[in-house]
A and B are shown apart, each in its own frame.
Chain A
């Protein structure tokens, strides 16, 4: 054990960690917007909006993140005619990929609000957008918040894969150090611990949110035991159309 190499290279690795945080934060914001759009499309009453959204959401979730990153980095230039930088390609891939998961999180959140509430708001004279803005979304966001944190964890871990296209985030920074000093045990052990501490802290926050915003009316022993909760997390929402959607949706905290 030689912890010296870690201490010596800590500043460099921390700049990598900074990149990891930036990548995850930016793609979180981007995929929230994208996910909201796709959730709306998927809930649309018109099939010609709904079906393409379903196709996108379910297809992207069957493809490995690495493949999406390759598409973004090697193939976008072929299609668009000009080269991209690794960071841009990484962001593009992470957002593209995570949008499909976020769409499901947001859809489940919106659907967790009983339809009666929208109808009631409409009946007292709110417009559809006002009903969304003042009645549905504030509650939906609260229901979604644990899943959103989980998605952030997934993104945080997922950013380690953009290492392959040369973005110097935390994992690549650590690799660069290792290529120089060749101390695999110490360095990969350290990397593992850092990821663990960050993600575990976030997942504690996620379960705290889950407890805080637990739906109060569902009261049975089963709901509280966590069985139904994790069950429904693994399923996404139950109304997912078709077998592919059912089986590919979704433990909401997967990086892949």
Chain B
């Protein structure tokens, strides 16, 4: 192996690493919040009374889950003609929300209808049923798979580099092309992705603890 390592380039180009990290975090955070909101609505729609609405939400989920994200990003960027960052946010959101909708749906579905009927027949109001019966159980079931989705948002945000969003993976190439030090750059950036994933793991564990205490379950 005739390769001489030069980790110094990371220090020299740390501003590029930092820029990339900031953009990755921004993109992922936006993606998470928006796709949680959109996915929540669509997941609820999957459980709606009206059949057309259920079907429509199902179609949305199947459609956007079965097209590679890179194709969707190219569509928003080149065909629709959005700016790179908005195109990335929209693409990421639409794609992820399909997965999150499924998470929400299966969380809701895990509560047998009979429980809700029983609670109603005790004289609880619909709101009380949601607050004391549905939510505590559904939340606990939804938090771990949501963590998986959030990590996937971070990983998927890397695809935005293909439409010229200068996030972390883009900077790998940038540093490589400036210095031919692709190995060092890729190592650093891979580690940053692992750290970001770990952050989500810790965050979700903390949220799970808070919810458990707050709802007095488990």
Q: Which residues of A contact B (CB under 8 A)?
A: 59, 62-67, 70-71, 74-75, 78-79, 81, 153, 157-158, 160-161, 163-164, 171, 175, 178, 184-185, 188-189, 191-192, 195-196, 199-200, 203, 221-222, 225-228, 230-231, 234-235, 243-244, 246-251, 254-256
Q: Is the CB of B152 within 8 A of A256?
A: yes
Q: From the candidates B2, B99, B186, name the one contacting A70 in the complex (CB within 8 A).
A: B186
Task: Give the CA-CA distance A63 to B190 in the complex, in Å.
Answer: 6
Task: Give the CA-CA distance A251 to B197 in the complex, in Å.
Answer: 16
Task: Give the CA-CA distance A227 to B162 in the complex, in Å.
Answer: 36
Q: Is the CB of A66 within 8 A of B151?
A: no
Task: Give the CA-CA distance A230 to B7 in the complex, in Å.
Answer: 44
| Across-interface contacts of A59 in B (CB, < 8 A) | 194
| Across-interface contacts of A79 in B (CB, < 8 A) | 1, 3, 183
Contacts A64-B156, A78-B183 given; does A70 touch B151 at CB 8 Å = no
Task: Give the CA-CA distance A62 to B197 in the complex, in Å.
Answer: 6
| Across-interface contacts of B178 in A (CB, < 8 A) | none
Contacts A63-B194, A64-B158, A235-B144 given; does A225 touch B109 at CB 8 Å = yes
Closest to B109 in A: A227
Q: Which residues of B contact A (CB under 8 A)?
A: 1-3, 62-63, 65-72, 74-75, 78-79, 99, 102-103, 106-107, 109-110, 112, 141, 144-145, 147-149, 151-152, 154-156, 158-159, 161-162, 169, 172-173, 176, 182-183, 186, 189-190, 193-194, 197-198, 200-202, 204-205
Contacts A185-B79, A226-B106, A244-B198 given; does A70 touch B144 at CB 8 Å = no
Q: From the candidates A74, A175, A249, name the one contacting B148 in the complex (CB within 8 A).
A: A249
Q: Is the CB of A247 within 8 A of B186?
A: no
Task: Give the CA-CA distance A192 to B67 in the complex, in Å.
Answer: 6
| Across-interface contacts of B67 in A (CB, < 8 A) | 157, 192, 195-196, 199
Contacts A66-B158, A244-B198 given; does A199 touch B176 at CB 8 Å = no
| Across-interface contacts of B107 in A (CB, < 8 A) | 227
Q: Is the CB of A195 within 8 A of B68?
A: yes
Nearest CB of A to B81, in Å: 8
Task: Give the CA-CA distance A75 to B182 in the complex, in Å.
Answer: 7
Q: Is the CB of A247 within 8 A of B200?
A: yes
Q: Is the CB of B110 within 8 A of A184?
A: no
Closest to B78 in A: A184
Contacts A67-B190, A221-B112 given; does A256 touch B155 at CB 8 Å = yes
Nearest CB of B to A169, in Å: 11
| Across-interface contacts of B189 in A (CB, < 8 A) | 67
| Across-interface contacts of A249 in B (CB, < 8 A) | 148
Contacts A63-B155, A230-B102, A234-B145 given; does A200 touch B66 at CB 8 Å = yes
Q: Is the CB of A62 within 8 A of B193?
A: yes
Nearest CB of A to B86, in Å: 17
| Across-interface contacts of B68 in A (CB, < 8 A) | 157-158, 160-161, 171, 195, 255
Closest to B169 in A: A66
Contacts A78-B3, A199-B66, A247-B148 given; does A161 touch B159 at CB 8 Å = yes
Closest to B195 in A: A62
Contacts A67-B158, A247-B204 given; does A254 touch B152 at CB 8 Å = yes
Nearest CB of B to A63, in Å: 5
Nearest CB of B to A139, in Å: 25
Given contacts A62-B197, A71-B190, A184-B78, 8 further A-B contacts (CB under 8 A): A67-B186, A185-B79, A189-B75, A196-B66, A199-B67, A234-B145, A251-B99, A256-B69
| Across-interface contacts of A160 in B (CB, < 8 A) | 68, 70-71
Nearest CB of A to B15, in Å: 21
| Across-interface contacts of A244 in B (CB, < 8 A) | 197-198, 201
Q: Is the CB of A191 within 8 A of B71?
A: yes
Q: From the candidates A70, A158, A251, name the one contacting B172 in the complex (CB within 8 A).
A: A70
Q: Is the CB of A251 within 8 A of B148?
A: yes
A81, A161, A188, A196 — which one has the most chain B CB atoms within 10 A of its CB?
A: A188
